[in-house]
């Protein structure tokens, strides 16, 4: 199997990111067992939410590392010409491949070519390290990975400070979430794993699914998973895909966007206030 970074390189990358001039860059990998559970739309909207936090805006870089189905650029409505592959090959400078979006986040495109980088030459490694130094201005780097347990995904997960596993309430997605957590626990030392339940009907369902995953991981893998929150199933997500405008921009006060803002606040360890949470509004609507 090919990897972008071997285990040593992943650890090296993690160390490197910590030693960079702005050493508090936090790398978050977003992954899942099953495909199509909403990683890309979540990664993008989470990034925008972190970047535009009223009381604490952050510099955010979103990196599309889904090598097979790179698609965040589609959600943003543009076609990237160059990607990290060109930088590693020395054909482009990092500044030439960073896309500055209208939404306060920067973006780097993934490339199918990346999966061929099993054996980076010394010069290419040097290029990659120099490239990473150039994005250390970011407070958060969000890596949208592919689904499943390929060595590429594990490399990205291993180089991240925390990993968010996405599931939906579907039984197959839950089983696969457990599977991916199991391999993270096996392959990564002291991983910091968090859970987001996407596409829920209501809070009862969200709680039930999260509890199921957290309990089974605690029981069989002896690992503590933090519940970061949930996102409602709503057609505004598809609408935002069609319009190629992220939903936190298109409908900033919609329940779906409020859910993502909550998750962003939890990641930043900020208070989630009643007022801001939109719960009042939510209950008002429910009991109207």
Ligand X SMILES: Nc1ncnc2c1ncn2[C@@H]1O[C@H](COP(=O)(O)OP(=O)(O)O)[C@@H](O)[C@H]1O
Chain residues that interact with Mg ion, rule: CB under 5 A: 39-40, 66
Judged by CB under 6 A, the chain residues 252 through 281 that form the site for ligand X are none
- Reduce the DSSP state of residue 59 to 3 states and report it: coil
Binds 36: which of ligand X, Mg ion, none (CB < 5-8 Å by kind): ligand X
The interface mask with ligand X, positions 98-137, x = CB under 6 A, is ----------------------------------------
CA angle, 157 as apex, 129 and 104 as ends, to 5°?
70
Q: CA–CA separation, 72 vs 39, rounded Å? A: 10
For residue 211, the minimal CB distance to ligand X (Å) is 20
CB of 33 to ligand X, least distance (A): 10
| 150 interacts with, out of Mg ion, ligand X, none, CB within 5 to 8 A per kind | none
Number of residue whose CB is nearest Mg ion: 40
Residues 6+ apart with CB under 8 A from 72: 40, 43, 44, 62, 64, 107, 109, 110, 144
Exactly one of 127, 150, 198, 261 binds ligand X (CB under 6 A); which one? 198
Measured from the CB atom, is 114 or 241 closer to ligand X?
Answer: 241
Task: Output the smallest distance, CB 133 to ligand X, in A.
Answer: 28
Identify which range of 32-40, 114-122, 221-229, 269-277 contacts ligand X by CB under 6 A: 32-40
Q: Specify the residue, 35 or 179, whose C-beta has the smaller distance to ligand X.
A: 35
- Quote helix, strand, coil % in the chain, to nearest 5: 50, 15, 35
Q: Based on CB atoms, which residue is closest to ligand X, 20 or 174?
A: 174
Give min distance, CB of 40 to Mg ion, in A. Answer: 3
Nearer to Mg ion, 153 or 185 (CB): 153
The yes or no reply on residue 45 touching ligand X (CB under 6 A) is: no
Nearest to 142 by CA among 196, 187, 105: 105
The Cα–Cα gap between 155 and 179 comes to 17
Q: How many residues are present in the chain?
A: 288
How far apart CA 134 and CA 95 sit, in angstroms, is 8
By CB under 6 A, name the one of 233, 245, 268, 276 that touches ligand X: 233
DSSP letter for each residue of 98-146:
-EE-TTSEEEE---GGGGGTTS--HHHHHHHHHHHHHTTT-SEEEEEE-
Q: Tokens in use for 123?
A: 């010069």
Q: Rounded distance, CA 191 to CA 257, Å?
A: 28
Interacting stretch for ligand X, rule CB under 6 A, among 15-23, 33-41, 95-103, 264-272? 33-41
Q: Contact residues for ligand X (CB under 6 A)?
A: 32, 35-41, 198-199, 231, 233-234, 237-238, 241
């Amino acid at each position: 199997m090919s990897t972008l970074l071997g285990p040593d390189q992943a650890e090296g990358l993690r160390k490197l990111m910590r030693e960079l001039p702005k050493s508090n860059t936090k790398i978050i990998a977003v992954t899942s067992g099953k495909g199509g559970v909403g990683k890309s739309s979540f990664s993008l909207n989470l990034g925008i939410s972190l970047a535009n936090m009223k009381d604490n805006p952050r510099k955010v870089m979103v990196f599309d590392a889904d090598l097979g189905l790179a698609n965040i650029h589609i959600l943003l409505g543009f076609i990237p010409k160059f990607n990290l592959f060109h930088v590693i090959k020395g054909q482009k400078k990092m500044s030439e491949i960073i896309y500055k979006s209208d939404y306060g986040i920067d973006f780097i495109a993934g490339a199918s070519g990346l999966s061929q980088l099993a054996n980076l030459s010394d010069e290419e490694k040097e290029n990659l390290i120099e490239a990473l130094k150039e994005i250390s201005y970011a407070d958060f780097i969000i890596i949208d990975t592919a689904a499943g347990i390929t060595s590429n995904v594990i490399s990205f997960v291993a180089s991240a400070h925390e990993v968010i596993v996405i599931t939906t309430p579907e039984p197959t997605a839950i089983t696969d979430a457990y599977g991916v957590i199991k391999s993270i626990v096996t392959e990564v030392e002291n991983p910091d794993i968090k859970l987001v339940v996407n596409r829920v009907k209501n809070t009862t369902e969200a709680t039930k699914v999260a509890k199921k995953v957290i309990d089974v991981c605690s029981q069989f893998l002896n690992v503590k998973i933090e519940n970061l929150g949930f996102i409602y199933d709503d057609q505004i997500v598809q609408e935002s895909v069609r319009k190629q405008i992220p939903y936190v921009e298109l409908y900033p006060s919609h329940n779906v966007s409020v859910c993502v803002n909550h998750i962003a606040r939890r990641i930043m360890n900020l208070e989630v206030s009643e007022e801001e949470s939109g719960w009042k509004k939510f209950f008002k609507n429910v009991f109207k």
